[in-house]
Amino acid sequence: MKAFVNALVYVEGEGLKKTTVAFGERITEIGSNVGKAEEIALPENAIVLPGFIDEHIHGAGGSDAMDGTQAALKTIAETVAAEGTTTFLATTMTQSKENITRAMTAVKEYRAAAHEEGARLGGVHLEGPFIAAAHKGAQPLEYVAKPSVSVFDEYNEASGRAIRIVTLAPEEEGAEQLIAHLAASNIVPSIGHTGAKCADILRAMAAGAKNITHTYNAQSPLHHREIGTVGSALLYDGLNAELIADTIHVSVPAIQLLVKCKPNDKLTLITDAMRAKGLQDGVSELGGQTVIVKNGEARLEDGTLAGSVLRMNRAVGNLVEKAGVPLLQAVDYATINPARTLGIDGETGGIRVGKLADFAVLDDKFNVLYTIRDGRIVYRA
């Protein structure tokens, strides 16, 4: 049994309070009457938060989910643990059927091996290939495919039924059938890489769509005669909006607009990070395409943004320091909100007795001091 003793803790439903939290694999006690436990000493400026959940990340530490190996997934898990992340979804991209299937198989094998290192692999975010060619972003055009229930089912079986989110363009032929199929299977249909108009979004929502992939990016913009995907994300409370808060993919005023328009429980921070996260600037790769990483920006040779090198603790910090979002609201965007989207809020996403002992311990500059997953220290500064 371990414990944070008289620490500043974000307790679910209570806010910030000085208290003691005891835990094994799960949180056992919160309060002053905690029994004998090994104390984890913290500095005065430490704050104990729920572990972060990244529902959209392609890679880190030189590895990518599309590498299709357990070793690559292990590298990603260990790298993101250093930013306070305790759960992540291995995010794929538009690629050949063979390459996507290999990535799915690696996820199945990795999860079956019950790796204890780093962050928990919570499943898969299938980003593509069911997207719109005109809004492919950094996705390879030659592998864009029409939405297909049968092809999705093949991928899901290969993953050990680990797919949790699917990004797709709702205006494409076959999309409504796939959205309904996903919703019936408790998998999140997410609207992204799309030229959808408002009418397309409404049909998708009626079929079960409830998420917007990296809001603002690679989607139809807001226009006063057609609000498109961006306008729909801002308008409809039933849609949860992902946000890359690196201030590169989305400007600070655009971040503030999204925060102002969305209910507090309908915005989720993601990193959308690629393999260069955690490495020095230089040449990297995404889906077989050359990526140049310089000054915190990852771009294809033609200048197209190619994912990010954003750390989740910095995403939270950016919201607070640059966009003026209250601390606990920003933390919710990285913890309980993605947990609710994924249907795992009964297990993680908050600090409450009975939940998994997943913690991100930060200092007052948003640096990560400890990351604890299932009661085990998986990162220490």
Annotated binding site for substrate: 138, 217-218, 225, 249, 305-307
Q: Which of 296, 299, 301, 249 is nearest to 277 (CA)?
A: 296
Contact partners, residue 263, CB within 8 Å, separation at least 6: 237
Residue 156 tokens read as 């899901």
Q: How is residue 222 annotated by DSSP? A: P
| Cβ-proximal residues to 38 (8 Å cutoff; 6+ apart), any chain | 1, 2, 3
Determine which one of 54, 200, 272, 345 is catalytic. Answer: 272
Q: Rounding to the nearest 10 degrees, give the CA dihedral for residues 207, 210, 215, 217.
A: -40
**DSSP code, position 189:** E
Judged on CB neighbours under 10 Å (0-12, 13-18, 19+), 114 is exposed
Q: Strand, helix or coil at 369?
A: strand
Q: Which two tokens stand for residue 381?
A: 């500064």
What is the three-class DSSP state of 169?
coil
CA pair distance 181, 248, nearest whole angstrom? 35
Contact 274, 305 (CB under 8 A): no
DSSP state of 146: -
Q: Catalytic residue at 358?
A: no
List residues forming the annotated binding site.
127, 138, 193, 214, 217-218, 225, 249, 305-307
Is-contact 231 332, C-beta < 8 A?
Answer: no
| Positions at the binding site for Zn(2+) | 127, 193, 214
Closest listed residue to residue 164, CA positions, set 194, 195, 185, 188 = 188
Query: Where in the sequence numbering do the catalytic residues fall?
Result: 272
